[in-house]
Amino acid sequence: MQTEEFAICMKQNMEKKKISLQNLSELTGISISRLEEYESGVFVAKSDEIISIGKALGVPPVILMKGGGNVHFSSLDEDDRRICDWEKY
């Protein structure tokens, strides 16, 4: 995992969801100072923290680790027709 790409993805998704470091800290239980280290790219997040951050931001953890990107979602509608969609993180 590249710390700089993780930091960029985390910041972009925080802005997208209008979540501050304070809010993210409350949602994840990770201290603000630690989140600031992640946001600046100084420190590498542990796997359990990546999962917590991803859950709080609504971003799949693997996408955070990758530094962002597009994810394909597929489901069925009420008539059992396949619905496909892409989400950018």
Tell me, what's the pLDDT at 1? 62
- At 22, give phi and psi (nearest 5°): -60, -50
The pLDDT score that the predictor gives to residue 22 is 97
* pLDDT tens track for 56-79: 999 998 888 888 777 776 778 888
**DSSP H helical segments within the chain, as ranges?**
3-17, 21-28, 32-40, 47-57, 61-66
Domains of the chain listed by start with CATH number: 3-88 (1.10.260.40)
Residue 75 confidence (pLDDT): 79
**Digit-coded pLDDT (tens) for 9-60:** 999 999 999 999 999 999 999 999 999 999 888 888 899 999 999 999 999 9
pTM of the model: 0.78
Tokens of 83: 């619905």
**CA proximity to 52, closest of 31, 73, 72, 74:** 31
